[in-house]
C-alpha cells in the first residue's frame, strides 16, 4: 500500500523498528543523524537505503520540519556513504519516493542509493 505523504508518522513502520534494533539490517554506516543499510530486495548491484534517525514520514515532512542540523547531518551522511563505497567515480543515483504516485511503501523517509552498473533511463516509460 503506497504511503500518503500527508499521513502522520507511524512509529511501528519497519524502518522505525530497524532504528530501534527490533529488526536486523545489514548496516553500512551510522552516525548521530542517519543509518545506512542494504536494501533487502536490491534493484542494482549496490542498493543502499539511507534514513534519518528522526521520525519523518517522507522527503516532504523532513524538508518542512527537520532542523538545520538534521538536514545537514542527513545530506552529509548520504554523501559519505557513497564516497566510502567508492561510488563517486563510477557514479550513482539517488531516489526518494514521496507519496502515492511515487509508490513510496515505507512511511519513514529513505533515500535509495543505486550503483554498480549503468543505471539506464531515469524513469520507466
* Residue 89 beta carbon to ligand AMP: minimum distance, rounded to whole angstroms: 25
Q: How far apart are CA 13 and CA 22, in angstroms?
A: 11
41 scored as a contact of ligand AMP (CB under 6 A): yes
Local structure of 22: helix, strand or coil: coil
Q: How far apart are CA 61 and CA 6, in angstroms?
A: 8
20 scored as a contact of ligand AMP (CB under 6 A): no
Q: Can you name the residues that pair with 103 across neighbouring β-strands?
A: none
58 scored as a contact of ligand AMP (CB under 6 A): no
- As annotated, the active-site residues are 110
Which residues here bind ligand AMP, judged by CB under 6 A? 14, 23, 25, 39-41, 49, 97, 103-106
Amino acid at each position: 500500500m503506497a504511503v500518503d505523504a500527508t499521513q502522520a508518522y507511524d512509529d511501528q513502520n519497519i524502518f522505525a523498528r530497524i532504528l530501534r534494533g527490533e529488526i536486523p539490517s545489514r548496516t553500512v554506516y551510522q552516525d548521530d543523524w542517519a543509518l545506512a543499510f542494504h536494501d533487502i530486495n536490491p534493484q542494482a548491484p549496490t542498493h543502499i537505503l539511507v534514513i534519518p534517525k528522526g521520525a519523518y514520514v517522507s522527503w516532504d515532512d523532513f524538508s518542512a520540519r527537520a532542523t538545520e542540523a538534521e538536514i545537514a547531518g542527513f545530506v552529509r551522511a548520504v554523501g559519505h556513504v557513497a564516497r566510502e563505497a567508492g561510488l563517486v567515480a563510477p557514479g550513482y543515483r539517488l531516489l526518494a519516493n514521496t507519496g502515492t504516485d511515487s509508490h513510496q511503501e515505507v512511511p519513514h523517509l529513505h533515500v535509495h542509493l543505486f550503483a554498480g552498473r549503468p543505471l539506464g533511463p531515469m524513469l520507466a516509460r
